[in-house]
Amino acid sequence: MATHSERRNAGSELLAEMTGQPLGFASAAEQRTGAFGSYVVDYIFGQVWQGAELSRRDRTIVALSMLGALERLQAVQFHASFGPANGVSREEMVEIALQIAGYSGFPAGNEMVNVLITMWSEADGTPYRIPPAAYKDDDQRHRDAVDVMRTLNGQEEAADPAEALAGMERIGPVGKLAFEFAFGDLWSRTQLSRRDRSLVVVSILVALTKPDELQFHIPGALNHGVTVEELEGVMATAAPYCGFPRAVEGFRTLRRILREREAANDGG
């Protein structure tokens, strides 16, 4: 069990390493905001970020996904500032914002994109440009969509695109939009792996308290190579970034899904 001084030292050292600021940076936060600053150093970076469930890169992805989904823009800027130090590239951070546009809405994605463009333009001294999306006709979108659905569902072969689209259309126009845009456009982009996109989407859904959607995307994440331990790390990260009620709801959903999968495997 870590002592307070051990957590304080660990949090201070981690913040200094990630931000490139001196060790006194953590003390300055405490002096500026009192107990709030104390807990930022001791609890968030001295305890949660020290957990072995997630790599530093993955925890950065999770934190940015949650903060972007909730439109916590100052925090997005702060965490994006040490993204590259933790192995998350600018291109990957843009992809997180694009995924947020699909799962938390375009206004939230737009807010994050604008924060990123502004901070990188100021850092570079020149306007930062994000490349436009490549053109796709609907046939290609449909083929890409069924391949994404294949890997999310852990299947070896993709369904027929027309049949898959018809199945999605049974839930109305939203189903068609999800098939073509979420799966056919966003998920099929190669700038972020499907494993990482699953980590992003699960983080967004936890932040937004969407247990029904997690019922599909947690198994999808497991099929994409995210481990149970890493998913538990997502829920632990949600505690400081989204609040304990959302973290607890996410963890309960995870445990329920794991019990269902275990029961299904035993039954087979």
Predicted confidence at residue 22, as pLDDT, reads 78
Phi and psi, residue 133, nearest 5°: -70, 145
Which residue has 């056919």 as its token pair? 184
CA dihedral (217, 223, 226, 228) positive or negative:
positive
Q: What is the pLDDT of residues 40-89, one digit of tens each?
A: 999 999 999 999 999 999 999 999 999 999 999 999 999 999 999 999 99
Torsion-angle region of residue 243: left (phi > 0), alpha (psi -120 to 50) or beta?
A: left
Longest dimension (CA), the chain: 61
Q: What is the pLDDT of residues 139-163, one digit of tens each?
A: 999 999 999 999 999 999 888 989 9
Q: What is the pLDDT of residues 191-240, one digit of tens each?
A: 999 999 999 999 999 999 999 999 999 999 999 999 999 999 999 999 99
| pTM over the 0.85 mark | yes
The closest of 124, 45, 31 to 78, measured between CA atoms, is 45
Predicted confidence at residue 179, as pLDDT, reads 94
pLDDT exceeds cutoff 70 at 120: yes
What CA–CA distance (Å, rounded) separates 38 from 145? 46
Predicted confidence at residue 36, as pLDDT, reads 93
Rounded to the nearest angstrom, the gap between the alpha carbon of residue 249 and the centroid of all alpha carbons in its chain is 17
Predicted confidence at residue 214, as pLDDT, reads 98
Predicted confidence at residue 268, as pLDDT, reads 56
**Which CATH architecture describes the domain 51-131+191-267?**
Up-down Bundle (1.20)
